[in-house]
Amino acid sequence: MAAALSLLYTALMILSSAASISGNLLLLLVLFLNQELQSDTLGLTLSSGLSDLAVGLSSLPFGAHNSLWWPSGWTTRGLLCQGGGFILVLLQTASIHSLTWTTVDKFTEICFALSYRSLWTAHRSRAVLVSVWLFCLVNASLPLVGFGSYSYSESRFLCGPEFIPKNKSFVLLWMAVSITAPILAMCSLYGYIIYVATKQAQRGTFMCNELHCFYVPAKTYLRSSVVMVTTSVCLLVCWLPYIIVGLYETFSGQQSPAMSSALSTWLVLTSSALNPWITCMTQKRVHV
């Protein structure tokens, strides 16, 4: 039974890795070739795509390898494991925060269309991008200086944050500030956009360009709302099990079932394969 679960986990990790690599490479290619999608905030989208691509090239294959062959030649406190944990937390945090600021950009463009150009300038976009990566670097470096710790998990087959009682402060900081808060912010922004789109659909809207004006049917807003709901659900499905399992292990001092740990880790890593499709779905301009 254990061998069968290990093989299943390996297969899922390999599929997720292939999906993450192909999806993010396609996204980056489209962004570089399509000038209509290039804007002052392109760096935020690239940051999310590159972070997810790096997860697909590093953590996912590493987890697949470890689920079949126990890693030898290094220890939990060794350089390789500590570096792997650092990279995993750095990339996960950078992806989530880059995606969050991309959502803020879209929210501003839709709900504050008249002042959008003055709010999101190239200089401010670069400042946000630099701030995001500085925050993520500091956040991922904390366990290396003693605030929290990284270790190898036999149930997750990866080196990452160690969910034990003595690391409560770090786990809470990382889970609450670095992960949960951005996800809730994204879901809240999507929820408000859906609310505004519903109001617009009820009263009808006209869009105008240089040549003429035309009526925007309600189904356009409905499709946009479906995209927003789907995005929120994907984020919650991928991250909530990981957050719940991590908090449970940290505050109870007990290990969760191996299947729960493995499944929640696979889900959170699979978000790197879903994020490029989320970005593609939300690239279409939604005017309200």
User: Cβ(16)–Cβ(270) under 8 Å?
Assistant: yes
Looking at the DSSP assignment, which residues form a beta bridge with residue 151?
160
Strands (E), the chain: 150-153, 158-161, 205-208, 213-216
**pLDDT class of 288 with cuts at 50, 70, 90:** very low
User: Cβ(63)–Cβ(88) under 8 Å?
Assistant: no
- Tokens at 214, concatenated: 């035309």
**pTM (2 d.p.):** 0.84
**pLDDT class of 72 with cuts at 50, 70, 90:** low
Higher pLDDT, 139 or 111: 139
DSSP one-letter string for 47-94: HHHHHHHHHHHTHHHHHHHHHHS---S--TTSHHHHHHHHHHHHHHHH
| CATH superfamily name and code, 2-281 | Rhodopsin 7-helix transmembrane proteins (1.20.1070.10)
Higher pLDDT, 20 or 118: 20
Rounded to whole angstroms, how far apart are CA atoms 66 and 123? 43
Task: Express each pLDDT in 199-216 by its tens digit.
Answer: 665 655 545 555 555 455
**pLDDT class of 285 with cuts at 50, 70, 90:** very low
- Tokens at 227, concatenated: 């995209």
Residues in contact with 48: Cβ distance below 8 Å, sequence separation at least 6, in sequence order: 94, 95, 98, 99, 102, 275, 279
Angle formed at CA 116 by CA 111 and CA 122, multiple of 5 degrees: 140
Higher pLDDT, 190 or 111: 190
- Given this model, what pLDDT does residue 213 score? 53
214 burial class (0-12, 13-18, 19+ CB within 10 angstroms)? exposed
Rounded to whole angstroms, how far apart are CA atoms 129 and 195? 29
Helix, strand, or coil (residue 216): strand
Helix, strand, or coil (residue 231): helix
Rounded to whole angstroms, how far apart are CA atoms 276 and 282? 10
Q: Kindly report the number of other CB atoms within 10 A of residue 78's CB atom.
A: 14
Instruction: Name the residue among 191, 134, 164, 183 with its Cα closest to residue 253.
Output: 164
Q: Is 38 left (phi over 0), alpha (psi -120 to 50) or beta?
A: beta
Task: Express each pLDDT in 247-283 by its tens digit.
Answer: 999 999 888 888 888 899 999 999 888 888 877 766 5
